[in-house]
């Protein structure tokens, strides 16, 4: 079917469209109510369907004769380990671990926090929660104890599942002390921690609370799949907002399964038995949707890669994995390809590999800048598909649908809205703007399946953060425009969220930490262009009157506190003392202008500015520090 027919049907007859897509899955009881409203007035999908996501992703395939097919290829250059798990093996492991969780009192609706590196046990833990109807919340391993503690307090898990360590290139990072510290910090105390001991580090265990993964697995009884409703939550995944408190994005079981299954064919053109590799981390939404759930729901083989695009051991790592497992679709963030290009500009590392099975490269997480797009396209001679999405949606909002009707790509554009997403560009008053005019990228309600129905425990935050700005629309927080052909260009966030190496971070949260330093009166953290990571945070710091500091020492202290509070992943490496910060007369710091100055962009001075002379002064300071481009 052509793109336009598919898209129009999804917008004009959403219930019919998604009812048909839902038939592709093995429900215990097929949904009859396709679209309905919940107690908050939010449109929900498949409310009366009965199902289990782990059944659809594993048991169903085993029963349908796919038991001997590889479900997960685990490839870990950092530990020199490779291992394949068939669908039958994975189902058995998941059932066994579900039995472990059950024996610890985990039931439908209970939360389980998973704080693990990129090892297959992370997927086993996620799917085991799904099997019990429990709600998992995976926390990315690069976050510091404080961040983990905040998530533990919000999700209130009965059990935490972790591992003794993660490995970053050659650096071994013991996870258990971080988990112990997080539990010290949190008000909510999980009853049990189940720890997978890796050979590189043996974690010290707390008597009575901590359990050894292998030991409890040996003694467990496999647990069956618990039926859940389509609208019961599968997981909560925390993402950065504009404040220090992360937002727990809630994902339904039913809509998620239907949307992901549909997307695997429609967007990625994957068929059962194909090999798909999302080179990301299970701690991010890309990892949830396209390392674990999407490929398994669609009967694919997924690659679980514990390594980096470079240095593990070289810039040929992606090409080696693609050849070795016969990857058909590769998905990563543009930053990963910029890292490969930087390390191996003449692509020597590609030469030894035969990539005849590779058909597509997909990118998301940040804007795919045209130079990176052209470099990858010319290098591989394959379609390079930029697609735009968010933790909140769980799948792509805009993209080029390889399995429906591939469109002529345009560098810098995420192509066209994906079926189900009525994407509109709105001005500040909520009126649609014309072609080529920039505005707020919004989605007209109802949102399609898989999108969040609420923020965990805080519906008001969902309403005020996303739905109240323009009536009848979800605001994405991104700015952009459509061209004359309706192609969508996502140009960057309109709020205090930045994307560093494809990782979503809050500058507001960093500001709270920087402002907490005894010498700091006020600060602004802005995201400036970075040739490798897309954006990098830079702190601009105003000192308290009369305070004298060694600026290098202050910078080192601020860098250390952000690393300690948020984690290494924040990549906060620069803090500069300034004399003044540009503000409006009502005292609001003009962060957008600061970013424009840092990036060497044109800017207009608002009439509300209090002190216009602060702008050239800031520009000079940024130039002196090598920030201004
Ligand atoms: N556990 C512990 N620490 C972690 C971590 C984890 N899971 N992931 C990252 N870190 C640490 C890194 O070791 C690094 O620490 P350092 O400051 O001590 O060197 C820091 O966090 C920053 O990590 P990162 O931004 O990833 O930088 P990098 O230099 O290690 O790697 C890239 C750069 C581009 C190779 C890497 O970011 C990458 O592969 N990105 C792919 C994008 C991606 O996965 N995006 C997810 C959405 S698709
Ligand atoms: P996350 O929730 O971590 O997936 O981050 C979502 C944000 O990343 C979006 O709101 C965008 O700002 C940015 N983003 C993701 N994919 C793209 C893309 N293809 N083009 C431009 N920005 C993107």
Kindly report the protein residue whose alpha carbon is nearest to atom 9 of ligand 2. 390
Q: How far is the CA of 569 from the centre of ligand 1 (A)?
A: 6
For residue 504, pLDDT over 90 is answered with: yes
Q: Which atom of ligand 1 is nearest to the CA of 567?
A: 21
The stretch 250-278 carries a mean pLDDT of 98
Say if residue 241's pLDDT is above 90: no
Query: What SS3 class is residue 299?
Result: coil
Q: Does the pLDDT at position 338 exceed 80?
A: yes
Question: ω before 611 within 30° of 0 (cis)?
Answer: no
Atom number in ligand 1 closest to CA 338: 34
For domain 67-225, the CATH architecture is: 3-Layer(aba) Sandwich (3.40)
Rounded-to-integer distance, Cα 8 and Cα 44, Å? 20
DSSP secondary structure code for residue 463 in this structure: I
pLDDT (mean) for 124-151 = 97
Least trusted range by pLDDT, from 146-155, 240-249, 561-570, 618-627:
240-249
Cα of 532 vs centre of ligand 2, distance in Å, is 16
**pLDDT the model gives residue 290:** 98
Q: Is the pLDDT of residue 462 over 90?
A: yes
Give the atom of ligand 1 at the shortest distance from the alpha carbon of 118. Answer: 7
- Mapped onto helix, strand or coil, the DSSP state of residue 561 is helix
pLDDT value of residue 545: 94
pLDDT over threshold 60, residue 37? yes
CATH fold for domain 501-624? GMP Synthetase; Chain A, domain 3 (3.30.300)
pLDDT at residue 232 tops 90: yes
Distance CA 416, CA 413 (A): 8
- pLDDT at 606 (0 to 100): 85
- What gap in Å lies between CA 238 and CA 235, rounded to an integer? 10
pTM: 0.96
My answer on whether omega of the bond before 155 falls inside 30° of 0, hence cis, is: no
Tell me the percentage of the chain whose pLDDT exceeds 90.
94
C-alpha to C-alpha distance for 256 and 237, rounded to whole angstroms: 13
pLDDT of residue 629: 66
Of 263-277, 374-388, 418-432, 495-509, the range with the lowest mean pLDDT is 495-509
- List the domain boundaries for the chain: 67-225, 501-624
Question: What pLDDT score does 33 carry?
Answer: 98
Q: Is-contact 372 396, C-beta < 8 A? A: no
* Distance from the alpha carbon of residue 303 to the mean position of ligand 1, in angstroms: 18
* pLDDT at 115 > cutoff 60: yes
Backbone angles phi, psi at 429, to 5 degrees: -100, 0
490 C-alpha vs ligand 1 centroid, how far in Å?
24
Residues with CB under 6 A from ligand 1: 117, 141-142, 166, 168, 173, 280-281, 284, 286, 308-310, 332-333, 335-336, 339, 365, 501-502, 568-569, 571
65 burial via Cβ count (<10 Å: 0-12, 13-18, 19+)? exposed
Per the DSSP assignment, residues forming a β-bridge with 541 are 523, 577
Percentage of the chain beyond pLDDT 70 is: 100
Examine the pLDDT at 244 and tell me if it is beyond 80.
no
Mean pLDDT of the chain: 96
Q: Does 1 have pLDDT greater than 90?
A: no
Is the distance from the beta carbon of residue 10 to the nearest atom of ligand 2 less than 6 Å?
A: no
What is the reported pLDDT for 496?
Answer: 87
């Amino acid at each position: 079917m052509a793109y336009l027919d598919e898209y129009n049907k999804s917008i004009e007859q959403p219930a019919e469209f998604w009812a048909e897509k839902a038939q592709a899955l093995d429900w215990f009881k097929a949904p009859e109510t396709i679209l309905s409203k919940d107690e908050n007035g939010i449109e929900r999908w498949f409310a009366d369907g009965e199902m289990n996501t782990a059944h659809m992703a594993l048991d169903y395939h085993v029963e349908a004769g796919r038991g001997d097919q590889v479900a997960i290829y685990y490839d870990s250059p950092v530990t020199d380990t490779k291992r394949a798990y068939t669908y039958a093996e994975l189902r058995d492991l998941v059932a066994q671990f579900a039995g472990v969780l059950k024996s610890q009192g985990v039931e439908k609706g209970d939360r389980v926090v998973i704080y693990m590196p990129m090892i297959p046990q992370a997927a086993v833990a996620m799917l085991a929660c799904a099997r019990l109807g429990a709600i998992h919340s995976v926390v990315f391993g690069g976050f510091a104890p404080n961040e983990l503690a905040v998530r533990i307090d919000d999700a209130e898990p009965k059990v935490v599942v972790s591992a003794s360590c993660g490995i970053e290139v050659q650096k071994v990072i013991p996870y258990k002390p971080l988990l112990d510290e997080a539990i010290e910090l949190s008000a909510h105390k999980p009853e049990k921690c189940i720890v997978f001991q890796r050979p590189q580090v043996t974690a010290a265990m707390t008597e009575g609370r901590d359990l050894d993964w292998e030991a409890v697995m040996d003694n467990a009884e496999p647990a069956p799949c618990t039926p859940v409703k389509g609208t019961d939550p599968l997981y909560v995944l925390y993402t950065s907002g504009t404040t220090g408190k992360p937002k727990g994005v809630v994902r339904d079981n039913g809509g998620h399964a239907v949307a992901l299954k549909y997307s695997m064919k429609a967007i990625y053109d994957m068929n059962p038995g194909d090999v798909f590799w999302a080179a990301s981390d299970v701690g991010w939404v890309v990892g949830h949707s396209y390392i674990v759930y999407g490929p398994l729901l669609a009967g694919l083989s997924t690659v679980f890669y514990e390594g980096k695009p470079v240095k593990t051991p070289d810039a040929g790592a992606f090409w080696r994995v693609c050849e070795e497992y016969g990857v058909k679709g590769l998905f990563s963030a543009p930053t990963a390809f910029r890292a490969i290009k930087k390390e191996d500009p003449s692509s020597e590392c590609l030469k030894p590999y035969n990539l005849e099975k590779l058909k597509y490269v997909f990118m998301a997480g940040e804007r795919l800048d045209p130079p990176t797009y052209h470099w990858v396209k010319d290098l591989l001679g394959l379609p390079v598909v930029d697609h735009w999405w968010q933790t909140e949606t769980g799948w792509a909002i805009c993209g080029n649908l390889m399995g429906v009707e591939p469109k002529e790509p345009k560098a810098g554009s995420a192509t066209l809205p994906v079926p189900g997403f009525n994407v509109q560009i709105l001005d500040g008053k909520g009126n649609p703007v014309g072609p080529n005019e920039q505005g707020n990228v919004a989605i007209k309600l109802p949102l399609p399946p898989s999108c969040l129905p609420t923020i965990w425990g805080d519906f008001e935050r969902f309403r005020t953060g996303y739905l109240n700005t323009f009536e009848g629309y979800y605001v994405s927080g991104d700015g952009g425009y459509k061209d004359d052909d309706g192609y969508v260009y996502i140009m960057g966030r309109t709020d205090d969220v930045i994307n560093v190496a494809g990782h979503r971070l809050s500058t507001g949260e960093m500001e709270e930490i920087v402002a907490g330093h005894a010498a700091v009166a006020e600060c602004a953290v802005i995201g400036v262009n970075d040739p490798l990571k897309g954006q990098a945070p830079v702190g601009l710091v105003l000192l308290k009157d009369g305070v004298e500091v060694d600026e290098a020492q202050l910078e080192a202290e601020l860098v250390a506190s952000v690393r300690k509070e948020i984690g290494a992943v924040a990549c906060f490496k620069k803090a500069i003392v300034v004399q003044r910060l540009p503000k409006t007369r009502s005292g609001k710091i003009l962060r957008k202008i600061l970013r424009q100055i840092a990036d060497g962009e044109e800017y207009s001075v608002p009439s509300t500015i209090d002190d216009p002379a602060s702008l050239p002064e800031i520009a000079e300071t940024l130039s002196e520090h090598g920030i201004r481009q």
